[in-house]
Amino acid sequence: MKGLSIKNLVSACNGLYHGDESYLDREISSITTDSRQVEKDGLFAAIKGERSDGHKFIGQCFEKGALVCISELELEGETRPYIQVESTITALRMIAKFYREQMTDLKVVAISGSAGKTSTKETIASVLEKKYKVLKTEGNFNNDLGVPLTVFRLKEDDQVAVIELGISHFGDMEKIASIVSPDICVITNIGQCHLENLKTRDGILEEKTDMFRFMKDGGYVVLNGDDDKLSTVGEVKGRKPYFFGIDSHEGAYATDIKNLGLKGMKAEFHQLNPADGLANFAVSIPIPGRHMVYNALAAATVASILGLSSDQIIAGISDVVTLKGRNNLIEANGLCILDDCYNANPGSMRASIDVLDASDGRKVAILGDMFELGKEERELHYEVGRYLAYKKIDELVAIGNLAKSLADGASDECKKCDNKHLKVTHYDSKADFFDNLNVHIQRGDNVLVKSSHGMNFAEIVEKLSHIDY
């Protein structure tokens, strides 16, 4: 790994070196926190977690060929090289920052937002891959440990890194944005999530936009101009943000939007970068939902900044694919399942309800608890239920303690708007729902499955994929 000699590692993380000094100039081949993934001449970083203590595996990692380890403990009797630090996670962040600084030609696109971070990241990466060698965040590696591990995957020939930055507390953004030093900062929206810690949408805005402090001079900010909070952002480091939207036409915008149901969306994009001839063109987005138009606009805006042609942008958008648990369309066992169960907040829940509403045929929404919404959590669930009552959906199955308020909101609003079509059912647990699965699901149904990750609704997706009618 470029520049990562043991001597530089020790310096970067302010660690204490133990071992033969003849090793100090040797460079490591890789970095991992998983003892099962240790490579020859790699670095193993021992982390003490809730379930397992990585320090127990240091000896095994040396036997597998690790060149050096990072430890929070002094390893009595260990003669092989290791670096002792106060906090392994802090050390990894410091090393990742040093490593990123060695990548002087690399462009980093950092993405944050209350909803749509992952789908926007995937869309941006799909487009940029039409011109550049791109590394992107995998899975949920977007926190103070995941971001360093993403940075460590960089190779010398990577040209662009598309990195997702996730936060839930004040101070989180500084820890991760300081590592990646973005060239382009993208924020998708400011919604109602992590309110338990960030309190208000203004608190979320404050924490999300803290990434601007760490943007490189001459960098670019790309924001959703339809978001009432983001639209107030003025100049950042002497440069106006690039806005994108549907209602707002200040920057790049979309018109002639056509909803193709679960087959995706079509739209006309305008004013991406008129100076470069990217004023107007049509795009086809293979993933359903109006929110995907915003994701594609963000991707097109970033691509125009980095010099892609309209043909490259169109091709990249048309090639984007979904990930498991994130607006992922599964056709299985006579059902069309919209697997969006990785996470949820009120904004993303409404967006998924809209996608289901646009489908043809019978429609069932299986919705669960949304976590970290603070003191107004029941009211926010209730409002999502009210929203659903105005959609052409046949059944709502709400599962969980908080989801009871969602079911109540739908039932109460159906009475007010005289919606006699929607059937509303609440279950305390997934087990109760599984006992009554065939009461709610019919062959040919379109089924939305969505909740916060802690509800583990992936079990429901699995059950539906193998349902016995």
Structure tokens at 231: 């639209």
Residues spanned by CATH 3.90.190.20 within the chain?
A: 328-465
The CATH class, in words, for 6-94 is: alpha beta
Least confident of 127-136, 256-265, 421-430, 447-456: 256-265
pLDDT at 271: 81
pLDDT for the residue 272: 78
Residue 198 pLDDT level (bands cut at 50, 70, 90): confident
Is pLDDT at 52 greater than 80 in this prediction? yes
- CATH assignment of 103-318, among 3.40.50.720, 3.60.20.10, 3.40.718.10, 3.40.1190.10: 3.40.1190.10
Q: What pLDDT is recorded for position 277? A: 64
Strand order in the sheet with 242-245: 134-136, 160-164, 107-112, 184-187, 220-224, 242-245, 252-259, 265-273, 278-285
Q: Which residues contact 21 (CB under 8 A, 6 or more apart)?
A: none
337: three-class secondary structure by DSSP: strand
Instruction: List, for residues 439-462, the tens digit of each pLDDT value.
Output: 999 999 999 999 999 999 999 999
Q: At what angle do helices 377-388 and 346-357 cross, to 10 degrees?
A: 10
Q: What angle (nearest 5°) sits at the alpha carbon of residue 363, between those of residues 378 and 255?
A: 85
Third-level CATH fold of 328-465: Protein-Tyrosine Phosphatase; Chain A (3.90.190)
Whole-prediction pTM: 0.85
| CA atoms of 339 and 329, how far apart (whole Å) | 6
Q: Chain centroid to CA 417: how far?
A: 36
**Does position 115 have pLDDT exceeding 90, yes or no?**
no
Residue 195 has pLDDT above 80, yes or no: no
pLDDT at position 275: 59
Cα–Cα distances (Å) from 450 to 164, 374, 398, 464, in that order, read 21, 20, 10, 13
Q: Could you give the residue range(s) of every CATH 3.40.1390.10 domain in the chain?
A: 6-94
Report pLDDT for 276. Answer: 66
What is the arithmetic mean of pLDDT over 419-433? 96
- Token duo for residue 455: 């509800």
CATH 3.40.1190.10 region(s) of the chain? 103-318
Alpha carbon distance 209, 221 (integer Å): 10
Q: pLDDT tens digits for 344-396? A: 999 889 989 999 998 989 999 999 999 989 889 999 999 999 999 999 999 99
The arithmetic mean of pLDDT across residues 387-410, rounded, is 97
Which residue, 466, 467, 455, 449, is CA-closest to 339? 449
Rounded Cα distance, 382 and 402, in Å? 9
Question: Residue 133 pLDDT more than 70?
Answer: yes
Residue type, position 400, single letter: G
Mean pLDDT score of the chain: 93
Residues 214-226: what's their mean pLDDT?
Answer: 96
Q: What is the mean pLDDT of residues 327-339?
A: 89
- Give the per-residue pLDDT at 274: 60
